[in-house]
Amino acid sequence: MAILESTFYGNTVSVWAMAAAIAVSVFFALMIGKAALVSRLSALAEKTTMQVDDIAVDLLRRTKFFFVLAAALYLGMLVLTLPEKASVVVTKAFVIAFLAQAAIWGDALIAHLIKGLVQKKAREDAAAVATVSMLGFIARVIVWSGLVLLALDNLGFNITALIAGLGIGGIAVALAAQNVLSDVFASLSIVLDKPFAVGDFIIVDEYLGTVERIGMKSTLVRSLSGEQLVFSNNDLLNSRIRNYKRMFERRIVFSLGVVYQTPYEKLAAISSMLREIIEFQDQTRFDRGHFKSYGDFSLNFEVVYYVKVPEYNVYMDIQQAINLAIFQRFEQEGIEFAYPTQTLYLEKG
pLDDT of residue 336: 94
Topology of the domain covering 187-246: SH3 type barrels. (2.30.30)
pLDDT of residue 343: 72
Rounded to an integer, the average pLDDT of 225-229 is 89
In angstroms, rounded to a whole number, what is the distance separating the alpha carbons of residues 277 and 335? 15
- Residue among 70, 82, 71, 68 nearest 15 (CA): 82
Rounded to an integer, the average pLDDT of 253-280 is 94
Look at residue 281 and tell me whether its pLDDT is greater than 90: yes
The number of beta carbons lying within 10 Å of the beta carbon of residue 71 is 19
Give the DSSP letter string of 90-146. HHHHHHHHHHHHHHHHHHHHHHHHHHHHHHHHHHH-THHHHHHHHHHHHHHHHHHHH
Look at residue 293 and tell me whether its pLDDT is greater than 70: yes
Look at residue 191 and tell me whether its pLDDT is greater than 90: no
pTM for the structure as a whole = 0.49
In angstroms, rounded to a whole number, what is the distance separating the alpha carbons of residues 294 and 292? 7
Residue pLDDT, tens place only, 88-142: 777 788 888 888 888 888 888 877 777 776 666 555 555 556 656 666 777 777 7
DSSP-based three-state secondary structure for 262:
coil
Residue pLDDT, tens place only, 56-99: 787 788 888 888 888 888 887 877 776 777 777 777 888 888 88
- Residue among 290, 291, 295 nearest 341 (CA): 295
Beta bridge partner(s), residue 204: 207, 241
Across the chain, mean pLDDT equals 80
In angstroms, rounded to a whole number, what is the distance separating the alpha carbons of residues 6 and 16? 10
DSSP at 78: T
Distances (CA, A) of 76 to 35, 67, 80, 144: 22, 14, 8, 29
Q: Which helix (H) or strand (E) holds 52?
A: helix 52-61
Q: Which CATH architecture has domain 250-333?
A: 2-Layer Sandwich (3.30)
- Residue among 195, 318, 309, 193 nearest 254 (CA): 318
